[in-house]
Amino acid sequence: MSTCWGRRKFLQRLAAGALLLPGCRQSGGRLVVGFSQMDTGGAWRVAETRSMREAAAARGDRFRLLVTDAQDQTAKQLADVEDMIARRVTALFVAPREYEGLETVFAAARRVGIPVFLLDREAREPGTDYLTFIGSDFVAQGRQVAQWLVRHTGGQAAVVELTGTPGSSVARDRAAGFREGIAAAPGMRILAAQTASFSRAAGQRVMSNLVQAFGPRLTAVYAHNDEMALGAVQALRAAARRPGRDVTVVSVDGQRAALEAILRGELGATVESDPRLGPPAFAALEDHLSGKPVPPRLLLTDRLFDASNAARFIGQAY
């Protein structure tokens, strides 16, 4: 197989003035695939990117992975994806910040025949704008947490909800799932739902305000991710409400720090949202390249961690 950036080839292309023209799908005989990550803030995103790099390295003789970081800006992600389409990558993995902003570039990818694999955040129409979605069922995650909380509190709790970034599908689905999960238990009440943008610092700030507002009335906290839950634990402690005893805190993600908090008795439960999407993503890509059909949704099975199993799984946590 010819190389794209070998010196000889490079000079030939330079001579032909064709260096910047599309058509460079291969690098050292390997297929170049792009991964547009929306952000690298927080353990979850870091683990996801690492998993993609590792899965690509494990297939290093066949694929080379280009990674871009949109730094939590839709406009930057748009440009990142456009650049990779212009480079004519073989396939695109996209962990979208918000799906709506990216429809136009997905259409552009389709026109030039680059398959798009959507990671971790889902959108409306699999099969047309993108080939498949690989990730977790966020509604099911919210439901699982809610069911654990109903069991643990005997169906009686006044809950404060710390929600994720407004408008993100994760926040929407984890909120909806939680409400499904508590629907059958009339003793479960949601006192307030306020956003803390998936960040630990914001979780602490918002929670300290809510503790002041509700005082001893609040008995449980549901955070849309572990980071906010860990911030809430700090805020509860600062307000002399003992997390795990006076107030039950639950969340989603299953990161190592959360499992440690479970072992300390501060966090009640967390549902895993597996960031290790690299292996299933590359498996789907290989299937697609060899002509096998790829289902429109590839959902991971998420486990629930609480005091009964946290010690056993902490070695696997990210």
Partner 1 sequence: MSVATAEKQWQVAWVPVGLHHGTFVLLALLILVNAALTPNFATFATLWNLLLQAAPALLLGVGMTLVLATGGIDLSVGSAMALASVAAVLAIPHGTVAAMLAGLGTTLALGVINGSLIAHWEVSPFLATLATLITGRGLAQVMSRDGEVVPFSDPAFEALGQGRLGPVPVPVALAALTIGAGVFVVRATTWGRYLLAIGGNERAAYAAGVPVGRTGWIAYLVSAVLAGVAGLIETARLGATDPANIGAGAEFAAIAGAVIGGTSLRGGHARISGTAAGVLILVVISASFNMLGISYAWSMVLQAAIILTAAALQGRGSPGEGRA
Question: Closest CB to partner 1 among 179 and 205?
Answer: 205
Residue 13 in 3-state DSSP? helix
Question: Closest CB to partner 1 among 122 and 272?
Answer: 272
Which residue stretch of 19-27, 147-155, 212-220, 288-296 sits at the interface with partner 1 (rule: CB under 8 A)?
212-220
Which residue stretch of 14-22, 168-176, 227-235, 303-311 sits at the interface with partner 1 (rule: CB under 8 A)?
227-235
Angle among Cα 308, 193, 190 to the nearest 5 degrees reads 65
Give the per-residue contact string, 252-291, with partner 1 (x = CB under 8 A; - = no).
-----x----------------------------------
Q: Which helix (H) or strand (E) holds 118?
A: strand 116-119
Q: What does DSSP assign to residue 20?
A: T
Question: Closest CB to partner 1 among 141 and 197?
Answer: 197
Which residue stretch of 15-23, 38-46, 175-183, 291-299 sits at the interface with partner 1 (rule: CB under 8 A)?
38-46
* Closest separation in Å from C-beta 268 to partner 1: 19
Which long-range contacts link 235-239 to residues 24+ away (Cβ below 8 Å)?
A: 235/203, 235/204, 235/205, 235/207, 235/208, 235/211, 236/207, 236/211, 238/208, 239/208, 239/211, 239/212
Contact 87, 23 (CB under 8 A): no
Contact 189, 156 (CB under 8 A): no
Give 140's contacts (C-beta < 8 A, 6+ positions apart): 177, 302
CA 284 from chain centre, in angstroms, equals 18
Residues 175-194 contacting partner 1, CB under 8 A: 191-194
Give the per-residue contact string, 110-149, with partner 1 (x = CB under 8 A; - = no).
----------------------------------------
Question: Closest CB to partner 1 among 67 and 108?
Answer: 67
Q: Inter-axis angle of helices 169-182 and 138-153, to 10 degrees? A: 40
Strand partners, 110: none
Say whether residue 56 binds partner 1 (CB under 8 A): no
Member of 91, 102, 105, 206 binding partner 1 (CB under 8 A): 206
Q: Which of 128, 277, 28 is nearest to 285 (CA)?
A: 277
One DSSP character per residue, 228-259 reads: HHHHHHHHHHHTT--BTTTBEEEEEE--HHHH
Member of 24, 46, 176, 299 binding partner 1 (CB under 8 A): 46
Q: How far apart are CA 137 and CA 122, in angstroms?
A: 9
Which residue stretch of 75-83, 117-125, 168-176, 200-208 sits at the interface with partner 1 (rule: CB under 8 A)?
200-208
Residues 76-105 contacting partner 1, CB under 8 A: none
Question: Closest CB to partner 1 among 127 and 215?
Answer: 215
Member of 19, 176, 202, 300 binding partner 1 (CB under 8 A): 202
* Closest separation in Å from C-beta 269 to partner 1: 20
Member of 3, 13, 25, 41 binding partner 1 (CB under 8 A): 41
The residues that touch partner 1, with contacts defined as CB under 8 A, are 39-43, 45-46, 49, 166, 191-195, 199-202, 204-206, 208-210, 212-215, 227, 230-231, 234, 238-239, 257
